[in-house]
């Protein structure tokens, strides 16, 4: 299958993927570590990470046990030409959206391209089983991508590529075909700990270990309850983070040096400078939210989640009228979680005076 594997990779590049590699379906090397991570509850409320555990920890069990190879693809999504890969300059009264969510929803975009590659394979091997995943199946994508040669898992637990940095999406095409595997990528983090040192909440508790419950991305996207007072300073510090967090990537030497503009127009930023004014978010109506973020990953937080995050980001605001806005939000907002967050922010501001 060496020649077919070569042709498949050429087709993946023709479709537009920026990187492609092949890994053999195999048991994870981190069986004990992953189970311990779950046992400690570091996945928070992301219960799906504990479902289909046997398949997640042994990709040979995918496709009803017929999986033999996994084609991993990567798509660069970096689009912030105006600011470069450095940390964006904070704008008082505004909150930043993580770079991955500034364009179209990657689940839809990458999956459509991956299915095009899957059709190409099926035309040549119609009896082969296959399935596409874009952050949607029981697969340890980053470990598999490392074995496929796309990059290595950095100390912040994200994948890093020597030529692209870390701003790229992953997709997987699981197949029953026995393809020619690539050589596993080697780690190049060395003694660097910039990502660990820069994390404002200490979520990277040790190299290669992330406590999601403390991560700003988790707190502003996955968590549905209020953001506790101990994280308000991290959320509101300029630039305020109201959907996701790029800090551990922004400080990475590889990402700072090798990030380049994406060639996929779907991932061009819809949001000027990647930030939004906080007060208009609080006053936003559901229909306005749906129109602005149609086809965007920001929808995952829902309007009430984005409004909760904007409320938390007001903790550090020194603008005139902030206190009055928070007071009004505690009694007049139509979402319980936003009213509760406003009360937490008010209490924390008064305690800090």
Q: Span 172-177, mean pLDDT?
A: 98
pLDDT in tens, 285-307: 999 999 999 999 999 999 999 99
Q: Span 343-349, mean pLDDT?
A: 97
| Angstrom distance (rounded) from CA 196 to CA 191 | 11
Q: Span 265-281, mean pLDDT?
A: 89
Q: Span 309-331, mean pLDDT?
A: 95
Q: Span 11-15, mean pLDDT?
A: 98
Q: Domains in the chain, start-ordered, CATH in brackets?
A: 2-82+104-175 (3.40.109), 194-252+271-347 (no CATH)
Confidence of residue 92 (pLDDT cuts 50, 70, 90): confident
**Could you give the C-alpha distances from 264 to 67, 99, 106, 290, in angstroms and in order?**
30, 14, 11, 23
Catalytic residue list? 135
Whether the predicted pLDDT of 270 surpasses 90: no
Looking at residue 320, what is its pLDDT?
A: 86
- Tokens linked to 43: 């996945």
Whether the predicted pLDDT of 216 surpasses 80: yes
**Share of residues in the chain with pLDDT > 70 (%):** 97
Looking at residue 79, what is its pLDDT?
A: 83
| Angstrom distance (rounded) from CA 106 to CA 251 | 23
Whether the predicted pLDDT of 332 surpasses 60: yes
pTM value?
A: 0.93
DSSP string, 198-261: H-TT--EEETTEE-GGG-HHIIIII--SPPPGGGHHHHHSSSEEEE---HHHHT-HHHHHH---
Looking at residue 121, what is its pLDDT?
A: 98
Q: Span 11-16, mean pLDDT?
A: 98
pLDDT in tens, 18-29: 999 999 999 999
Beta strand 94-97 with 240-243 is parallel
């Amino acid at each position: 299958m060496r020649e077919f594997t070569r042709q498949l990779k050429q087709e993946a590049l023709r479709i537009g993927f920026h990187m492609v590699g092949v890994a053999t379906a195999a048991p994870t090397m981190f069986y004990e570590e992953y189970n311990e991570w779950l046992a400690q509850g570091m996945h928070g409320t992301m219960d799906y990470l504990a479902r289909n555990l046997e398949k997640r920890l042994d990709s040979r069990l995918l496709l009803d046990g017929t999986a033999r190879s996994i084609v991993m693809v990567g798509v660069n999504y970096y689009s912030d030409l105006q600011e470069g890969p450095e940390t964006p300059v904070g704008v008082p009264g505004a909150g930043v959206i993580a770079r991955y969510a500034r364009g179209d929803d990657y689940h839809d975009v990458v999956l459509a391209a991956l299915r095009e590659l899957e059709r190409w394979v099926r035309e040549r091997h119609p009896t082969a089983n296959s399935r596409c995943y874009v952050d949607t199946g029981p697969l340890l994508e980053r470990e598999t991508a490392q074995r496929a040669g796309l990059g290595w898992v950095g100390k912040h637990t994200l994948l890093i590529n020597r030529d692209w940095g870390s701003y790229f999406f992953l997709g997987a095409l699981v197949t029953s075909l026995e393809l020619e595997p690539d050589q596993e990528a080697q780690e190049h983090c060395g003694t660097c700990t910039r990502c660990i040192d820069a994390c404002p909440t200490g979520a990277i508790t040790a190299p290669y270990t992330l406590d999601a419950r403390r991560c700003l991305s988790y707190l502003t996207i996955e968590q549905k309850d209020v953001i506790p007072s101990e994280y308000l300073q991290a959320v509101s510090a300029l630039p305020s983070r109201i959907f996701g967090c790029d800090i551990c990537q922004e400080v990475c030497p590889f990402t700072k040096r090798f990030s380049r503009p994406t060639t996929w127009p779907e991932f061009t930023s819809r949001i000027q400078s990647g930030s939004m004014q906080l007060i208009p978010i609080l006053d936003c109506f559901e229909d306005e939210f749906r129109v602005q973020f149609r086809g965007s990953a920001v929808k995952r937080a829902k309007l009430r989640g984005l409004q909760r995050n904007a409320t938390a980001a007001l903790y550090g605001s020194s603008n005139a009228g902030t206190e009055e806005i928070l007071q009004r939000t505690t009694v007049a907002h139509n979402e319980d979680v936003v009213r509760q967050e406003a009360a937490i922010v008010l209490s924390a501001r008064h305690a800090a005076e």
